[in-house]
């Protein structure tokens, strides 16, 4: 977790885990069809 995520969590009264989940979802949403994504289960999945 970097400083920006920690600061964002604190200023929005969120847990750092919630911010990490949101950030991860944005990365998944931004991935193009056919790209591989590393899931929270540790497995690579093709989008």
Q: What is the pLDDT of residues 14-38, one digit of tens each?
A: 999 999 889 889 989 999 999 999 9
- pTM comes to 0.67
Compute the distance between CA of residue 22 and CA of residue 14 in angstroms, rounded to an integer.
11
What pLDDT is recorded for position 30? 94
Coil vs helix vs strand at 37:
strand
- How many alpha carbons fall within 13 Å on the CB side of residue 1? 14
Under 8 Å between Cβ of 30 and 45? no
For helices 16-30 and 3-11, angle between their N-to-C axes, nearest 10 degrees: 120
Q: CB–CB of 20/8 below 8 Å? A: no
């Amino acid at each position: 977790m970097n400083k920006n995520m920690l600061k964002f969590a604190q200023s929005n009264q969120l847990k750092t885990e919630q911010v990490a989940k949101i950030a991860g979802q944005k990365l998944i949403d931004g991935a193009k069809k056919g790209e591989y994504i590393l899931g929270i289960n540790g497995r690579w999945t093709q989008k």
